[in-house]
Amino acid sequence: MFGREAPELLRDVHLEAHTAPDSLTVGDRLTLELSVDAPHGMDVRFPDTVPANDKSDLLDRTITSPTDAAQQTGNKTSPKSADKANDKGRAADGRDHWTARYTLAVFGVGDVALAPWHVTVRADSLYAIASTDSIRVTVDTVLTDSLAQAKIRDLKPQEGLPLSEWPWIAGGIAAVALAVALVWWLRRRRRPQAAIIPFVRQRPADEVALEALRRLETQRLTLEGRFKEHYVVLSEILRRYLEDGFGVAALEETTEEMCYDLGRHGFDRAPVQQVRALSDEADLVKFAKFEPSIEDAVRAIDRVRDVVKATCMRMTVGAPVVLAAPTLDPVVAMPAPGSGGAMAQGGSA
């Protein structure tokens, strides 16, 4: 609220409160009328809601200012008395008369005290607050006579029901079963369990080599002129087959060392000569920049396949096996020049 509070303004202000009816029953409406007589020119502001913590609810509100009263009187009088209409909105002493009528719903039974109502009067930048006393009304209940006529009696005490023994028996059995299950679980948990080893299917070295040769054929490196990469992969397939199938360290040995070990393992002269020829041909392509024909390069795959098929039956029962085919990625490690013809990954093709 803006302005300065000036309590001295209330010396010329008169506030009255009237209620109707004086007594009511639950559900009836209460009419509260606030009347204010204030000097002419003052502005009067009535509350828009019921006071805080009040035991009532606002249903309707009507405000009648001096101007409204004068207009209502002027409309009901003849033109000759229209000049007296303004006097209808003023008190006998010349002050303006303001009226506010509220329709309330009161909550509670018996003697109910409504909170004081506050009205604000203002003159320019000065204001003051006028308050009523607590408003007391009597609210009668309509239930007393009705209850007496209905002859309603108090509730009887709760009837006791006999308890069966079966719930206790069932509960005891369930508790024993739960205890037994808990002991069994604890003992089983402490018992060491064997480690679970996943089963992995092992594949023979010849099967892996033949699959790798089929993949090399599908790459068609020779048709793109990539003979060196073709022979690098082909040499690795052959050497890995000999190492995994017969225990020869073919990936780390030179051609001479590899052929010597094959002879020690009982290989016939013909397959050893085939392995030597294939390794020498691969060395020429990789290190001497020899470029074979496409037919010779493709035929080299068939020659390696013949070696695998001719020697696979010689693998002993305890010969090593592999889990997957060797990679056919043409980007493999190459030996440094002058390494004596050692092939990819330390051996000679």
Residue ranges covered by each domain of the chain: 4-142, 205-346
pLDDT of residue 335: 38
DSSP code for 163: P
The 10 Å Cβ neighbour count of residue 145 is 9
CATH topology of domain 4-142: Immunoglobulin-like (2.60.40)
Q: How many residues does the chain have?
A: 349
Q: How far is CA 185 from the centre of its chain?
A: 36
Q: Which of 94, 85, 106 is nearest to 32 (CA)?
A: 106
- What does DSSP say about strands 96-106 and 56-64: parallel, antiparallel, or unpaired? antiparallel
H or E, element range at 147? helix 143-150
DSSP for 13-46 reads -EEEEEEE-SEEETT-EEEEEEEEEE-TT-EEE-
Task: Measure the CA–CA gap between 81 and 325, rounded to whole angstroms.
Answer: 122
pLDDT of residue 339: 37
Per-residue pLDDT in tens (0 to 9) along the chain, 349 residues: 678 888 988 888 999 998 988 778 877 888 989 999 999 888 999 999 988 777 788 889 999 988 876 676 655 555 544 444 455 556 667 789 999 999 988 877 888 888 899 999 998 889 999 999 888 888 887 666 655 566 667 777 877 777 778 888 988 999 999 999 999 988 888 766 666 666 556 788 888 989 999 998 898 888 888 888 988 999 999 999 888 888 888 888 888 888 988 888 888 888 888 898 988 888 888 888 788 888 888 889 999 999 998 888 877 544 444 433 444 444 333 333 333 333 333 333 3
Residues 6+ apart with CB under 8 A from 337: 287
Task: Measure the CA–CA gap between 278 and 311, rounded to whole angstroms.
Answer: 15
Considering just the CA atoms, what is the radius of gyration of the chain in Å?
Answer: 57
Q: How far is CA 45 from the centre of its chain?
A: 54
Tell me if 97 sits within 8 A of 90, measured CB to CB. Answer: yes
DSSP code for 89: G
Task: Measure the CA–CA gap between 220 and 112, rounded to whole angstroms.
Answer: 105
Residues 6+ apart with CB under 8 A from 115: 50, 51, 52, 53, 54, 134
Strand ranges for 39-186 from DSSP E: 43-45, 56-64, 96-106, 110-114, 118-123, 126-131, 135-140
C-alpha distance from residue 213 to each of 40, 227, 238, 258 (Å): 117, 15, 9, 21
pLDDT of residue 12: 87
DSSP code for 122: E
Cα dihedral sign, 311-317-320-325: positive
Tell me if 42 sits within 8 A of 121, measured CB to CB. Answer: yes
- The pTM for the full model equals 0.39
Tell me if 202 sits within 8 A of 323, measured CB to CB. Answer: yes
